[in-house]
A and B are shown apart, each in its own frame.
Chain A
Amino acid sequence: MRTLLTVAVLAGAASADACSIRWHFPHEFEEARERARTEDRILLIKGVSFGIDEEGATCATKGKW
């Protein structure tokens, strides 16, 4: 929707609403913290307890976490 990352991704005849949260990945903690500091934003942390697989560690919308 709107000003978000709304991308029409063609999948056959249908299109996806691919707007998604712009997560910082697990290896980017310091970058996330620095961004929160410089942009005066709250840092939201999703701590996962059941493990993350390889795909989930590099893509927030795929894989397991």
Chain B
Amino acid sequence: MRAGAFSDERVIALLNRRFVPYYFNRSGMGEGGNAAASRFTTGKTKNPYAYFAAFTSEGKYLGESALYATKDEVLAWLIQLLRDHPEFDKPTSEEGRAEGIQAARVLEETGRFEEARERYAAIGAPLDEARLARYAQDWESHGKALARIGAADQVAAERGLRLVAERKWEEARALLEKALRAHPESTRAAEMRFALGVACWFDGDRDWAKFHWMWVVENLPGDRLSMRCRVAAAAEIMPYENPELDNHAARGNIGTEHIVREVSKSRAIYLRLLPAWEKG
């Protein structure tokens, strides 16, 4: 989940706006255990071993997501939780006073994407409008919004993500490579690198896919997509379906050491290809 939903900008925003997220180790092995949390949850969740579950502060169980739910499924589950329990979806006093772009942000970050998009369009915020059009895969609106954006790296990122969503791998590779070379300072570098890796993967060039994912792991460890890149770089051995790679999964059970070894192999590929990338 750290590589999927917990790396997703929509899920991150919604959790920070409307939920109190907490994690702990319920296995009794290693660090991070908490006896009170164990007592609070034991016997309530469908999956007794691992879960992402919702509770009231008094301890009433409200539901849980599937253990390997995709980012879209987790987002939908969280939004539905709020719609089913509006008493936990009340705006803060600060949100109540928000106007203009800030009011639109609140709508977006509480999962009201259509309303937010209308607000962004009305107040003239084309980058925000483009992002929400991309979520909806409304490519006509996406294109119109991009035509009004000045920041070239943002336009390139949006166009690249669209090409990946449309599975136009060669075009996506060409555009994203060019964008990353032209805008190495972009705050969307990791987003573009991850998407470029996906395009390379499906274009039959797995070494370059691993190069771009490992570039993020090596150079931007604090980025929200670092864990997603790390897991993708180990995709050829991971037994869990990776929804970013058409549910690619390796067969058989593995241990942590196998993942570490696979990431090390991908890192070696990264180091081998780095001179070629830097040469251009």
Contact = CB atoms under 8 A, between A and B. Distances in A.
Chain B residues touching A, range: 35 or more
A17 B229 CA distance: 14
A61 B227 contact: yes
A41 B189 contact: no
Given A17-B187, A28-B22, A42 B62 contact: yes
- Interface range on chain A (Cβ under 8 Å from partner): 35 or more
Interface majority SS on B: helix, strand, loop or mixed?
Answer: mixed
Interface stretch (B49-57, B199-207, B242-250): B49-57
Given A46-B52, A51-B30, A29 B22 contact: yes
Interface in A40-60: 40-54, 56-57, 60
B31 A8 contact: no
A42 B6 contact: no
Nearest to B23: A46
A48 B26 contact: yes
Given A33-B57, A37-B57, A45-B51, A65 B25 contact: yes
Interface stretch (B101-109, B144-152, B162-170, B265-273): B101-109
Contact of A52 (B1, B25, B36, B188): B25
A29 B39 CA distance: 11
Given A29-B36, A54-B31, A18 B13 contact: no
A32 B24 CA distance: 12
Contacts of B9: 1, 4, 17, 19
Interface in B6-65: 6, 9, 11-13, 15-16, 18-27, 29-34, 36-37, 40-41, 45, 49-58, 62
Contacts of B252: none
Interface of B: 1-2, 6, 9, 11-13, 15-16, 18-27, 29-34, 36-37, 40-41, 45, 49-58, 62, 81-82, 85, 87-88, 90, 102, 105, 108-109, 184-191, 219-227, 256
Interface of A: 1-6, 8-9, 11-30, 32-37, 39-54, 56-57, 60-62, 64-65
